[in-house]
Chain A
Amino acid sequence: MDTAGNLIKTVRVRKIKSYVMLSIATVTAIYGVLWLLWILLDVFFNGFKSLSFSLFINDPAPPGVEGGGLRHAFVGHFIITSLATIMGIPIGIGAGIYFAEYGRHSTFVKFLRNITDVMVSFPSIVIGTLVYAVMVKPVGHFMGISGSVALALLMIPVVAITTDEILKLVPNSLREAGYALGARRWQVIKDISLSAARRGILTGVILGIARITGETAPLLFTAFNNNYLTLDPTQPMASLTVTIFQYAMGPYEVWHGQAWASALILTFGTLMFFILAKFVIRRK
């Protein structure tokens, strides 16, 4: 009788303990989602307040003067990111193809692949200092193009790893079928592997772009900043992220408002890329 009572008690204690711990787990999940909503709502409301048409079409006005915009930063950001994408994508995809198709069994490629894996989580500011030492210091002034190079270096590992992983999913029997038809290696890669993996590679590219659109640290001392509109990538160039950094740290209310507005556009731009990537992969 007594032992049975004890047993029931133990079971009840264990059950309660289980409920408590699992509730804690639920609370942490809600905690995570809460921050997401909080950040998004703050960015949305504060940014929306300062969002105006003149933000996109005007150059910055001196503090205190109405109607300044951030046209230079939008244009600069677009140029820097596009140049980085143009440089980063071919190299990234090429590296991925090499990893997955040509260098499957070589130890050297295995080593390279490990380095690439590590590169993905690398501190971006260190890349910035590297590019500064290699490109900015010898020339003597900051350049938009060096910002693009820094961003491209960040993008390459992301694209390379995605391409590599996706190409590995292409069944070998497909490749063998190609060879059996007498295709050469490059023909097999071009017409079979790549066309089977098209969608996955596209996802990698989108993720790579999403990764670099929000980067600030490597741009601080490569592309630097510029208060005027410039289309010349050999000049210092403004970018949205660096401008946000400068404006948010600045003393003026107007600057803070414009920083929030740019933050809104940047956040939703980046999230759009991510959602797009998810959408592309889901549609299969």
Chain B
Amino acid sequence: MHFLTGRVWDPVSEVFGALPAIVGTLLVTLISSMIALPVSVGIAVFISELCPERFKPFFSTAVELLGAIPSIIYGMWGLFVIAPLMADHVEPFLQNTFGKLPLIGVLFEGAPTGIDALTSGFVLSIMIIPFMSAIVKDAFEMTPPLLKEAGYGLGATKWEVVRNVVIPFALPGIIGGVILSVGRALGETMAVAFLTGNVHAIPKSLLEPLTTITVAIANEFTEADSDIYLSSLFLLALILFLMSFGLLMTAKFLILERIGKRWTPRGI
């Protein structure tokens, strides 16, 4: 219990508290899902409803390839390309725009270094967009054309058909896809390993370094010299295991089972 609620992670004096890592994991996952969800639904709408037949293969292949890039490439690219960009341009801009506002302003305090929660979440969102949009797209395409035609027959515009026919019909699929992607984001290591800074502290704003369970394990496992250190890292791994196992099981049994959808390998 101490382990779960402790805020101090100090290997030298052998005090281990996992709260910062757990909070960090949840925070990064939350940021990335918030960015990825609207984008993925947008991509799915575009590919399944709007895209001219000729360009369809191009767009769906592009999104699949985005999912095929190894996660370490995302991490490295984030470190060398996105982090400086965030530090020099995006984050000062956010601070100037939102920093003065009450409530939201707190989120953008701190030095804009680019190695922080916002950048990690952002890069992670790019990484989970392909997974999410692939599942959402499949759910969209299962909508019977008859229903859509009925909608058009009533004089609905294209958006109204999407909004009132396709999305409600595909809702279980969308939720399942979101949970599945969140499970993926939780366990993602290399994309964020470069970007969090691995600081065991609960970040006070989006612009502070933090750590996640995966990053802590990846960075410290080989350095763990005492048994208690190693055991703490194993316990972190167990927590991660339980979290993602729970999520994946939920997605599988509550939702995907009902619509008869299985994980299908990309590329088919």
Digitize A113-142: 1 where CB-to-B-CB distance is under 8 Å, 0 elsewhere.
Answer: 010011011111110010011000000000
Cβ of B47 under 8 Å from chain A? yes
Contact count band on A: 35 or more
Are B217 and A125 interface neighbours, CB within 8 A? yes
Cβ of A57 under 8 Å from chain B? no
Are A161 and B263 interface neighbours, CB within 8 A? yes
Are B77 and A39 interface neighbours, CB within 8 A? yes
Are B240 and A207 interface neighbours, CB within 8 A? no
CB of A177 to closest CB in B, whole Å: 27
Q: Bound state CA distance, A277 and B193, in angstroms?
A: 30
Are B69 and A267 interface neighbours, CB within 8 A? yes
Partner of A29, one of B51, B183, B253, B263: B51
How many residues on B have C-beta within 8 angstroms of the other chain's C-beta atoms? 75
Q: Bound state CA distance, A155 and B266, in angstroms?
A: 14
Give the residues in chain A near B46, CB-CB below 8 Å: 25-26, 28-29
Cβ of B252 under 8 Å from chain A? yes
Are B221 and A274 interface neighbours, CB within 8 A? no
Cβ of A15 under 8 Å from chain B? yes
Q: Bound state CA distance, A43 and B241, in angstroms?
A: 32
Which residues 4-51 of B have a CB within 8 angstroms of A? 38-43, 45-47, 49-51
Are B222 and A221 interface neighbours, CB within 8 A? yes
Cβ of A248 under 8 Å from chain B? yes
Q: Bound state CA distance, A125 and B268, in angstroms?
A: 27
Are A216 and B72 interface neighbours, CB within 8 A? yes
Partner of A248, one of B80, B237, B245, B253: B80
Main secondary structure of the interface of A (DSSP, over half): helix
Are A32 and B159 interface neighbours, CB within 8 A? no
Partner of A125, one of B40, B74, B183, B189: B189
A267 with B265, Cβ < 8 A, contacts A28-B38, A28-B42, A42-B77 known: no
Q: Bound state CA distance, A224 and B222, in angstroms?
A: 8
Are B221 and A266 interface neighbours, CB within 8 A? no
Which residues 205-225 of A have a CB within 8 angstroms of B? 207, 210, 213-217, 220-221, 224
A214 with B266, Cβ < 8 A, contacts A32-B66, A118-B249 known: no
Digitize B238-266: 1 where CB-to-A-CB distance is under 8 Å, 0 elsewhere.
Answer: 00110011001100110000000011111
16 A-B pairs whose Cβ atoms sit less than 8 Å apart in the complex: A17-B159, A22-B49, A22-B159, A39-B66, A118-B245, A121-B244, A121-B263, A125-B217, A129-B221, A213-B70, A214-B70, A224-B222, A244-B76, A266-B70, A274-B68, A278-B267
> Other than the known A123-B240, A248-B75, what 17 A-B pairs have Cβ atoms closer than 8 Å?
A24-B42, A25-B42, A26-B50, A28-B40, A28-B46, A36-B63, A121-B184, A121-B244, A123-B186, A129-B234, A216-B72, A217-B218, A249-B194, A256-B80, A263-B72, A266-B72, A277-B267
